[in-house]
Structure 1
């Protein structure tokens, strides 16, 4: 089975590094899927976006990411986010409350919407 090295790094810490068979991410140009052997590409992650990593063990890992970049080179995908939260660590009720109380499209509202999308994708 073909695989690639994937790294998920947020400003505060490296969240994950390992081998994967698939990565999907929401960029400003649309959603992109990366498999081993993909052509080199650089993409800007959307504010309040979601990434999903399928490991070589078949585990699907989903995270909410806020801003940053996705870089694909020969055999490696680097996801460099301003912030990132694993779906299983997200307090969905707090995110729903943030969205419900929103009066504008502030950074916290965009992050909360991204967190809710990550939770939804992790359960489907």
Structure 2
């Protein structure tokens, strides 16, 4: 199976780096799948949605991405986020509670707290 090198970087830290078979993310233009050999691309990630790293062995890692860009070059894919968390770093109960509170108290469906909690829940495979 073909692989590509992926780097997931937030403002304050490198989150993950390694080989992947594919990446799925939501940009401001819609959902996108990246496979090895993809054409060069720079896209803005949509706030409040997760991304998925599919590893060469077929396992998946969910990622909560909070703003940023997806960059594809000949040699690598970079997810450059303002902040991001891997699914195993997310406290599901805390994310669900934050989502519920934001839904009850926020007047905008695009509030930062609501978007952050939604991305976290999507990264761990929870329905929102």
The verdict on a shared fold, with TM-score over 0.5 as the criterion, is yes
The answer to whether structure 1 residue 85 and structure 2 residue 90 are counterparts is no
The answer to whether structure 1 residue 110 and structure 2 residue 115 are counterparts is yes
Ranges of 4+ aligned residues in structure 1 off by more than 3 Å: none
**Deviations along 1:39-95, whole A, 9 cap, x unmatched?**
111110111121111122333111100000000011310000011111122111111
Q: Give SS of 1:98's match.
A: helix
Q: Are 2:20 and 2:55, in contact at CA under 8 Å, matched by a contact in 1?
A: yes
Q: Where does residue 67 of structure 2 map in the other structure?
A: 67
Q: How many angstroms does 1:30 deviate by?
A: 0.8
Q: Are 1:24 and 1:33, in contact at CA under 8 Å, matched by a contact in 2?
A: yes
Q: Where does residue 18 of structure 1 map in the other structure?
A: 18
Query: Counterparts of 2:7 and 2:15 in 1: how far apart (Å)?
Result: 8
Query: Which ranges of structure 1 fall in alignment gaps of 5 or more residues?
Result: none
Query: Counterparts of 1:22 and 1:75 in 2: how far apart (Å)?
Result: 14
Deviates more, 1:75-84 or 1:49-58: 49-58
TM-score by length of 1: 0.90
Query: RMSD of the alignment, in Å?
Result: 1.3
Q: Are 2:3 and 2:56, in contact at CA under 8 Å, matched by a contact in 1?
A: yes
Query: Counterparts of 2:85 and 2:117 in 1: how far apart (Å)?
Result: 11
Q: Give SS of 1:83's match.
A: strand
